Structure 1
């Protein structure tokens, strides 16, 4: 921070590590507006929290205790990061719930909780104070908060021109007042709880209200320390996080058909599995078997393809997904026609389904300057060169590249 953003920006191309990751994320979100050292520290603190770099966030807060605001916790998709969660595209809601008993900690009751629901993530319960995930509370132990907390002092990122000028994303509007100088902002990319810093005297702080001009410019290229998902192996934990562990079907080795001789396919169906259900917009995939394992696509074809499941795309005809038991090649059968190649193997097929889930939020609700659809298609080309030209994949991908979150 002592060097200032301009000098750091000059050194970034040759740098690495967490510092570069946090700096580039801060500029990707907030832009390059000229702000005070203290406000820039707020940007860095937010970026570190969003990226999960807690130690760096603590260092930033210690180096600049006069930050005008700080991030308490965040469940937020970073710019340029493509994750299945959070994804609040489409319909969503956030509600604060308070314990109905007097004593927190009694009968399993803790402090206030935040319930988050969206089309693509279902229900999530967070500890309002820390952001830690919590199980859904027992019946009768919590009740939805009827009114927002009263808060003394100015609201953060107030659009009133008489309010303090602070740079922020253009989507940080209509916060939920939590009390104690804390505010909740929620939008398609996730949610964040921020806390007001010490209120400087009016004469010492610039007026003008919330300023989203720098955010709208969409400048800055994020850089990430961790490798991209396409460069890392699939495992059960990763797929459980993307598809929800309850939907993953894994087959015991002795339940797989003897005709399935392709070793990598057997290993994936046992150790990683396939999702029981997958959806993106108007497109859905339903697995065609349970823990008993896949069967022949057509009765009596002991050496023929095995049935994995089916795609449904709006009002289009169903597409049956098959796998060759000897080579592991994944096929698509439309109607009664001959099967067509769909993916070179079942891992590629699964990675493509995962990619749609990871990129759908960026396709439907990109940040300013973020090319979500382009990033997705480039990922597909890495995973399976030529797949976008395939008729079946074109229909599947169109759910996020052509159609919106509501299917039109």
Structure 2
């Protein structure tokens, strides 16, 4: 299909809904480009539904959800205008899109959300998981909220159950479709519900036009699958995107990234790209996955040892596996990264420092998709393809460097979120 036709269909939610599942099914084999935001939203909704059959009005709810998850709020508004009879709609979402390999949200491992009431009548959501520190949200808007001071917010009773119909009621015949992970929506009152699962949290509400069977029922219209294609994204891939301070802060956390001004870097380090990386984007101060960890040998004042070692290399940090490990080194003239392990080496790890940091960052970005992939989401495979593209050595287990990366990657490719 020509790109212009794709743009024409996908630019309008009304056109997507009017096309219907039969015509849209013909779009499964699409060109790499074209369709823009609307194609992203349609592909995301189809991926989340994973082939489940729903009527048109309910598919509009899923389009609306996908638009909110992707941050395309104007498109979400257009979906709502195109189909006012949606049985439910998304108020806000902090949720990792299917096929989007991002470090946050990552609610794998003991995903938890608690409700708190404030003296001014607001309800706050406290979300946390094994790899997610406590985050607070305004339940009504989804805006991040500061952690209340002691005594400022009161936990809502476990029996807190505002009046209202149950959304996604499994007891309702021909009820609304819901993924298995949404089996226990938490009622917030006023027809709103909080959903909590490994990909994140979301607040949804019943639509203004409630089906005859109640809030948990569909509209009785003919059901159909609206596609089973893979997610699609218009923007550049992670490997194509620049590595900058904002990106590293988002992945590692601002408190866990070291940046060293040029004047504090050792004179021996003459590789300009490495110097610029350390000064602007930064180095992770600490990294961990499974039983493996990396600790930088630098602080904001500079390297712990500014002099090259006997091999003419500067130390970046240290890898530990719990049972062995060794120093991670950088060549001051070329930026190439190497390692000494168990007395062997130095052997190559990455062609330059930026690639080394990108490999560590990729592990964090793929954690959720590897530990808790959505049905059909190729977390492990997508991760290995990305790191192989970044640095072929990282997946060549016949080489010492590839064997070292295999142990580091095992934290998400072989071990669970619990590290075993």
Q: TM-score, normalised by structure 1?
A: 0.90
| Alpha carbons 1:296, 1:304 under 8 Å: kept | no
Q: Give 1:208 deviation, angstroms.
A: 12
Which of residues 350, 354, 364 is equivalent to 1:347?
Answer: 354
CA distance in 2, matches of 1:205, 1:309: 55
Which of residues 216, 220, 224 is equivalent to 2:229?
Answer: 220
Hey, what does 1:130 align to over in structure 2?
141
Hey, what does 1:173 align to over in structure 2?
183
Hey, what does 2:202 align to over in structure 1?
192
Q: Give 1:202 deviation, angstroms.
A: 2.9
Alignment partner of 1:292 is 2:292: no
Q: Give 1:302 deviation, angstroms.
A: 7.8
Alignment partner of 1:259 is 2:275: no
CA distance in 2, matches of 1:207, 1:397: 44
How many pairs does the alignment contain? Answer: 392
Which of residues 374, 378, 399 is equivalent to 1:367?
Answer: 374
CA distance in 2, matches of 1:208, 1:66: 9
Structure 1: gaps spanning 5 or more residues: 105-110
Which of residues 313, 320, 330 is equivalent to 1:312?
Answer: 320
Hey, what does 1:85 align to over in structure 2?
104
Aligned 1:49-60 pairs, distance under 5 A: 49-60=68-79
Q: Give 1:320 deviation, angstroms.
A: 1.2
Structure 1 residues 69, 148: closer, same or farther in 2, change over 3 A? Answer: farther
1:364-394 per-residue CA deviation (whole Å, 9 max, x = no partner) reads 1111111100000000011011311211101
For the residue of structure 2 that corresponds to 1:136, the secondary structure is: coil
Structure 1 residues 349, 207: closer, same or farther in 2, change over 3 A? Answer: closer
Hey, what does 1:405 align to over in structure 2?
417
Q: Give 1:283 deviation, angstroms.
A: 1.7
Q: Give 1:6 deviation, angstroms.
A: 2.5
| Alpha carbons 1:45, 1:57 under 8 Å: kept | yes
Structure 1 residues 301, 380: closer, same or farther in 2, change over 3 A? Answer: closer
CA distance in 2, matches of 1:292, 1:133: 33
CA distance in 1, matches of 2:140, 2:217: 30
1:65-123 per-residue CA deviation (whole Å, 9 max, x = no partner) reads 11111111111111111000011111232111111x3x36xxxxxx2211111121211
Structure 1 residues 168, 214: closer, same or farther in 2, change over 3 A? Answer: farther
CA distance in 2, matches of 1:288, 1:268: 16
For the residue of structure 2 that corresponds to 1:284, the secondary structure is: strand
CA distance in 1, matches of 2:201, 2:215: 30
For the residue of structure 2 that corresponds to 1:4, the secondary structure is: helix
Q: Give 1:23 deviation, angstroms.
A: 0.7
CA distance in 2, matches of 1:265, 1:320: 18
CA distance in 2, matches of 1:143, 1:202: 36
| Alpha carbons 1:253, 1:270 under 8 Å: kept | yes
| Alpha carbons 1:295, 1:306 under 8 Å: kept | no
Hey, what does 2:51 align to over in structure 1?
32
Hey, what does 1:112 align to over in structure 2?
123
CA distance in 2, matches of 1:377, 1:169: 27
Structure 1 residues 35, 337: closer, same or farther in 2, change over 3 A? Answer: closer
For the residue of structure 1 that corresponds to 2:40, the secondary structure is: helix
For the residue of structure 1 that corresponds to 2:193, the secondary structure is: strand
Hey, what does 1:272 align to over in structure 2?
281
Alignment partner of 1:74 is 2:90: no
Structure 2: gaps spanning 5 or more residues: 1-16, 397-401
CA distance in 2, matches of 1:285, 1:219: 40
| Alpha carbons 1:157, 1:164 under 8 Å: kept | no
Alignment partner of 1:337 is 2:344: yes
Q: Give 1:154 deviation, angstroms.
A: 2.3
Which of residues 220, 232, 240 is equivalent to 1:231?
Answer: 240
Hey, what does 1:142 align to over in structure 2?
153
Structure 1 residues 385, 190: closer, same or farther in 2, change over 3 A? Answer: same
CA distance in 2, matches of 1:231, 1:204: 44
For the residue of structure 1 that corresponds to 2:387, the secondary structure is: helix
Structure 1 residues 205, 355: closer, same or farther in 2, change over 3 A? Answer: closer
The alignment yields a C-alpha RMSD, in angstroms, of 2.4
For the residue of structure 1 that corresponds to 2:386, the secondary structure is: helix
Structure 1 residue ranges (4+ consecutive) displaced by more than 6 angstroms after TM superposition? none
Q: Give 1:339 deviation, angstroms.
A: 1.0
| Alpha carbons 2:93, 2:142 under 8 Å: kept | yes
